[in-house]
Chain A
Amino acid sequence: MLGRPRPLSEISSPSAIRTGNPSHAAAKLRAPALLSSSYTLPFNMEEDEFLEEKTFQHYCAEFIKHSQQIGDGWEWKTSKDYSDGYMYKTCFQANEMAGACPGTCADVQTWLPTEEALDLPSDDLEVIETQAASEVVKYEYHVLYSCSYQVPVLYFRASFLDGRPLTLQDIWNGVHESYKTRPLQGPWDTITQQEHPILGQPFFVLHPCKTTEFMAPVLKNSQKINRTVNYITSWLSIVGPAVGLNLPLSYAKATSRDEDAD
């Protein structure tokens, strides 16, 4: 073996490099209170703020339950040979163009520009609609668990209906101005192209190593006000908008509603 083993000293300050320091924050991830009387948590929470895989799957299941209630389109995909899997959502959007409605993924119908909005004579509208159809973009969002960093990770990609992929710049251009109020500047906003660990295809990824840092205050606060928090809901509401994914407010109410004794 090379060198003598030496004791590792504790980190005292965040590093200058963009890497996570899991031992930095001290927030405790409290085991969520029973969400319903029939549900028990068969697993233990670790002492620190890490998210275990079974807990991740539990939070995703709860998240999906609410998604089904409001028709938000999230589903779970189990990996063929293994017990793991991921949460995913596919949606379609007409790409940004003059007069198009802003916002998040929705059905194509909603996003095609109206004649009034474009202020054009009706025969021009036909041309625009054809263009609009060819500009429809399919967005895929996958939430996976990283066992290395013990946090969830957001993978996403976009392509035209004929299969041509969008570049990161294309995707960013498609997000309406009002949602660009938080441009790529947060420590969680490092986006790179990486191989999807289950599908083996190129996806864009929000880098996971800072997740523990920005989730710590969220978890700490939930302890303070004695309210359980769905880690996935909180996390996705923070990182999602950076890539044009927004969560309806009812997700937050869903967690607290289950909490309050009726």
Chain B
Amino acid sequence: MTDDKDVLRDVWFGRIPTCFTLYQDEITEREAEPYYLLLPRVSYLTLVTDKVKKHFQKVMRQEDISEIWFEYEGTPLKWHYPIGLLFDLLASSSALPWNIIVHFKSFPEKDLLHCPSKDAIEAHFMSCMKEADALKHKSQVINEMQKKDHKQLWMGLQNDRFDQFWAINRKLMEYPAEENGFRYIPFRIYQTTTERPFIQKLFRPVAADGQLHTLGDLLREVCPSAIAPEDGGKKNQVMIHGIEPMLETPLQWLSEHLSYPDNFLHISIIPQPID
């Protein structure tokens, strides 16, 4: 259906207007102007911020520069989480642009993974894809692919090439004719209120009787507190790519259309914003 393919494009081309400001305690030779950038929701911070880095390094001395890291309202931003997930989880209730602080000192070793190179991002991305396929197809589809196919997935993401990426990724979205969906759905549910970074469990897209499981079924099973109305009746928002899908949506459909390029559904549970 054409409508469904449009969803894939809308997801891929989602952007977040962001303002990068240098941390005030960084030592500069001249005043550092903020840097504005539209960030791709489906990519990773360290993959798309070369220009940001160059911009601020222009006003700093080489000896004051070590590994770059980003922070939002005091929270170090995990570069290995997709940008859209970070925004939805931490900043979606605030006004745009997304204000991110840039650091070049005091890397928070206890909170953030190091990102020594683009290769590290590629390794992380491919590792997520492989894990997703382990869940969907017992790794059979991704293992059948050649190295150049894997490379094409990565290059597609890195260069923002939708067609290049989906030429290969579509194979990861198929399933046997006799089944009604994947073996298990790759998903992770994030909440800022828990110590645990995310919830991930085995969950089938199809019930024993052949009925398709919905987003609501998933949440009721693995994270019931997320959608059960609290005492004060305060509900949470269930957000993927900045939207709240209906809880009746079949999970299989969500997995095929609203997954991130790593083939995972990254779902944010956030408190309902006070208007």
Q: A residues bordering B, Cβ < 8 Å?
A: 1-11, 15-17, 19-23, 79-82, 147-149, 163-165, 192-195, 197-202, 207, 209
Q: How far is the CB of A201 from chain B (nearest CB, A)?
A: 6
Q: Which residues of A lie under 8 Å from residue B176 when comparing CB positions?
A: 5-8
Known contacts A11-B144, A195-B80, A195-B113, A2 near B170 by CB under 8 Å: yes
B131 and A193 within 8 A (CB): no
B147 touches A165 (CB 8 A): no
Main secondary structure of the interface of A (DSSP, over half): loop
Given A2-B173, A9-B144, verify A17-B201 contact (CB < 8 Å). Answer: no
Which chain B residues lie closer than 8 Å to A163 at the CB level? 110
Interface 9-mer from B44-52, B85-93, B189-197, B267-275: B189-197
Contacts A147-B200, A209-B139 aside, 10 further interface pairs with beta carbons under 8 A come to A2-B173, A5-B177, A8-B175, A16-B146, A17-B143, A17-B150, A21-B140, A81-B196, A192-B127, A202-B111
Given known A-B contacts A149-B131, A202-B109, A21 and B194 have beta carbons under 8 A apart: no
B residues less than 8 Å from A10 (CB atoms): 140
| Residues of B contacting A197 in the complex (Cβ-Cβ under 8 angstroms) | 196-198, 200
Name the A residues within 8 Å of B141 (CB-CB).
8
Chain A min CB distance to B130 (Å): 5
Least CB separation from A6: chain B residue? B174
User: Are A16 and B147 in contact, with the CB atoms below 8 A?
Assistant: yes
Size class of the B contact interface (CB-based, 8 Å): 35 or more
Instruction: Decide if B202 touches A165 in the complex (CB within 8 Å).
Output: no
Q: In the assembly, what is the distance between CA of A261 and CA of B134, in Å?
A: 40
A238 CB → nearest B CB, Å = 21
Q: With A22-B139, A209-B134 known to touch, is A1 a contact of B147 (CB < 8 Å)? A: no
Q: Is the CB of B174 within 8 A of A201?
A: no
> In the bound complex, do residue A2 and residue B5 qualify as a contact, i.e. CB atoms below 8 Å apart?
yes
Interface pair A23/B138, CB less than 8 Å apart: yes
B88-130 Cβ-contact flags toward A at 8 Å (1 or 0): 0000000000000000000001111110000000011001001
Contact B196 A198 (CB under 8 A): yes
What is the bound-complex CA distance between A15 and B140, given in angstroms? 10
- Inter-chain contact B137/A8, CB cutoff 8 Å: yes
Q: In terms of DSSP, what is the predominant structure of the interface of chain B?
A: loop
Chain A residue nearest in CB terms to B179:
A5
Nearest 5 pairs of A and B residues by beta carbon? A200-B197, A15-B143, A2-B170, A148-B131, A165-B109
Check if B113 sits within 8 Å of A194, measured CB to CB: yes
Give the complex CA separation of A92 and B78 in angstroms.
29
Q: CA A192 – CA B113 in complex, angstroms? A: 10
Does B142 belong to the interface (CB within 8 Å)?
yes
Does B262 count as interface, using CB distance less than 8 angstroms?
no
CA distance A138 to B178 in the complex (A): 52
In the bound complex, CA of A166 to CA of B159 (Å): 34
- Determine the chain A residues whose CB is within 8 A of the CB of B202 once the complex forms: 147
| B171 / chain A contacts, CB cutoff of 8 Å | 3
CA A50 to CA B140, docked complex, whole Å: 16
A202 to B178, CA, bound (A): 41
| Most B-side CB within 10 Å, residue of A19, A21, A81, A201 | A19
A251 CB → nearest B CB, Å: 29
Residue of B nearest to A209 (CB): B130
* B residues near A82, Cβ cutoff 8 Å: 196, 199
In this complex, what residue of B is CB-closest to A196? Answer: B197
Q: In the complex the two chains form, what is the Cα distance from A147 to B198 in whole Å?
A: 14
* Contact of A8 with B112 in the complex, beta carbons under 8 Å: no
Decide yes or no: A202 and B195 within 8 Å by CB, A3-B170, A148-B131 being known contacts: no
Contacts of A17 in B (CB 8 A): 143, 147, 150
* A165-B177 contact, Cβ under 8 Å, with A11-B143, A21-B139: no
Q: Are A19 and B4 in contact (CB under 8 A)?
A: no
Chain B nearest Cβ from A122, distance in angstroms: 38
Kindly list chain B residues whose C-beta atoms are within 8 Å of the C-beta of A148: 131, 134-135, 186, 200
CB distance A202 to B134 under 8 Å? no
Q: Which residues of A have CB within 8 Å of B150?
A: 17
Report the Cα distance A154→B32, complex, angstroms.
Answer: 44
Q: Are A1 and B109 closer than 8 Å at their CB atoms?
A: no
**C-alpha spacing A4/B176, complex, angstroms:** 9
CA A93 – CA B179 in complex, angstroms?
A: 53
